[in-house]
Amino acid sequence: MKKAVAEILEKALKKISANLSEEEIEKLVEIPPSSEMGDFAFPCFPLAAILKKNPAQIAIEIKKQIRVEKEFEKIVVSGPYVNFFVDKLNFSEKTIEEILKKKNAFGKFSLAKKEKILVEFSQPNTHKAFHVGHIRGTSLGESISRILEFCGQKVIRANYSGDTGMHVAKWLWCYKKYHSREKLSDNEEWIASIYVDAVRRLEEKPLLHAEVDEINLKLESKKDKKLYELWKKTRRHSVNSWKKIYKELNAKFDKYFFESGVEKRGKQISLELLKKGIAEKSDGAVIMDLKKYNLGVWVLLRSDGTVLYSAKDLALAGEKMKKYRADKNISLHGSEQNLHFRQLFKTLEIMGIEKEKFSDIAFDMVRLPSGKMSSRTGENILYSDFMKEIAEHAKMEIKKRQRNSLTFSSQSEKMGRKISQKELDSRALKISIAAIKYSMLKQSANKVIVFDKKEALNFEGDTGPYLLYSYARAKSIIKKSKSFSKNSGKPEKIKIIDEKEIELAKKFSQFPEIVKNSFENLNPAMIANYSYQLSQTFNEFYHSCPVLGSEKQNFRIALVKSFVQVMENSFGMLGIVALEEM
């Protein structure tokens, strides 16, 4: 509907010599805080400098040029605003019709240019814990990928992991010395426990670091074949342990990159940059002097020739371009790496690579009420432990709600509605994942998240379970409606529309704009927050407007079906699996 308002305004503005494009006008159109002030409002302040007139006078002139279209009841001037009041019946019926016709395509818009975009995210290190903090980057990257795909872009999901260095050497040393009789496993807890044990033992006996250094040197040289084979096997087990987690988180990857695969090329690039005079030597190290860009010094190679993350990232960028030739490469990373990525992109630009090719999205850390997590020690919260704890809490909530529901049911209903242990486990896991992912995605990426399980699993309020519960309630209404003869599946013609009905229809109509803004800003929080607001609006409608057996049953069922469809489209972009029954 905003588009219709913009189209009308574009014609009117041309007549008063204010040539703004439809897109520019659409960005200026506002939704008033109260429906009494109109459904849409156009502020004339931005035109004052162009037309050199008072905004209130401009509003009057615009109104004179507008013929009231059938979509609107009236168009009035209020000071410097032109306010549009929609024909509520016509508007609601058209919105419902569009949603039920387009279905999972509702909200999509035409792109001027379709692109291939590589999104790199998650990035756990092998031989270490996949902890709660990794969930944020994984959820954010997967949601951004889904939003891009929903809007017509081709997406390549990539994962880049550290599989070399001292953390790997510590793991291999500890396994060989203290755990060699244990069978290698894909179990995340077991893999993490070896690393934690290594850290503990090295802290107790620092002299043992010499043995780890020796392991690290052998691993780098690849001369010890047995050690090299053990490294390859354990790396594979690490990756397999992630795949189980990614399946639960509803995330997937097209390509896994590893540091070991770009290390050699990273050294070559560094030496090439040195030879060309782009890089320079400082105390034996190869560096990029970026001080004139206020980016300090970026070290590529240490004085002993060992390759740093910086050089590996240059090689990774080259690999991405060579293998996928993407129009854009987006990297998600923790905010503590902000300077590193500024240095990386500036170096790529100096090397002659278009700066538009590479961009990044930084996200802040996840804390628990008890404080920060660490992957170096045993203080971190493992994904598996975390999920077990959240799922147990979710089971308690499900059982409590089922008990409350069955209190008012007949004996035959109780028999039919008893939930099996398998279904309870499955439902609890899905609710837990929705709770965690929503809590991660509803916040702006640059904000620290303090995750509180009780708050996140609350079935009321701004939570994932609340969204699932609202959706399940709507599905239940649709299911029950099949036994009512009045339901033809199409909205009947009605004469009067209730306030809560129009509010719900208006909320639906905002979805395409929310999707577009989320796409342009690569910000899933816009979709997440809209989903919560829509659920609130739906529940207000549900409590105020009886659906089944009412005089407006068909129309209201169509509203419920529209809600289900819009929520499914939102869930799809958030990577949340919907539940038909809680």
Q: What pLDDT digit, counting tens, does each position of 307-338 carry?
A: 999 999 999 999 999 999 999 999 999 999 99
Structure tokens at 581: 């029954």
How many domains are contained in the chain?
A: 3
Q: What is the pLDDT of residues 371-389, one digit of tens each?
A: 655 444 445 678 988 899 8
Listed residues 319, 351, 367: the one ending a domain: 367
Instruction: Clarify whether residues 57 and 169 are in a common domain.
Output: no
Residue 361's φ and ψ, nearest 5 degrees, are: -130, 120
Q: Please report whether residue 426 resides in a domain.
A: no
CA 566, CA 104: separation in Å to the nearest integer?
8
Helices (H), 184-308: 188-204, 209-221, 225-248, 259-276
Q: Do 224 and 153 share a domain, yes or no?
A: yes
Assess contact for 317 and 327: CB atoms under 8 A: no
Has residue 428 got a pLDDT over 90? yes
pLDDT at 305 > cutoff 70: yes
pLDDT at 320: 97
- Asked if the structure places residue 582 within a domain, the reply is no
Average pLDDT, whole number, for the chain?
A: 91
Residues 19 and 147 in one domain: no
pLDDT computed for residue 486 by the predictor: 52
**pTM, whole model, 2 decimals?**
0.90
Instruction: Decide if 429 is inside a domain.
Output: no
Residue 112 lies in a domain: no
Q: Containing domain of residue 548, as a range?
A: 434-574
Q: Cα 515 from chain centroid? A: 12
DSSP string, 393-436: HHHHHHHHHHHHHHTTS-HHHHHHHPPPHHHHHHHHHHHHHHHH
Q: Taking residues 71-83, what's their average pLDDT?
A: 92
Which residue reads 């954010």 in tokens? Answer: 140
pLDDT at 253 over 60: yes
Per-residue pLDDT tens over the stretch 518-566: 999 999 999 999 999 999 999 999 999 999 999 899 999 999 999 999 9
Domain at 20, CATH number: 3.30.1360.70
Domain at 159, CATH number: 3.40.50.620
Instruction: Provide the pLDDT for residue 490.
Output: 58
In this structure, is residue 59 part of a structural domain? yes
Given a contact cutoff of 8 angstroms between Cβ atoms, the answer to whether 130 and 124 are in contact is yes
Pair 215, 349 in one domain: yes
Residue 409 lies inside a defined structural domain of this protein: no
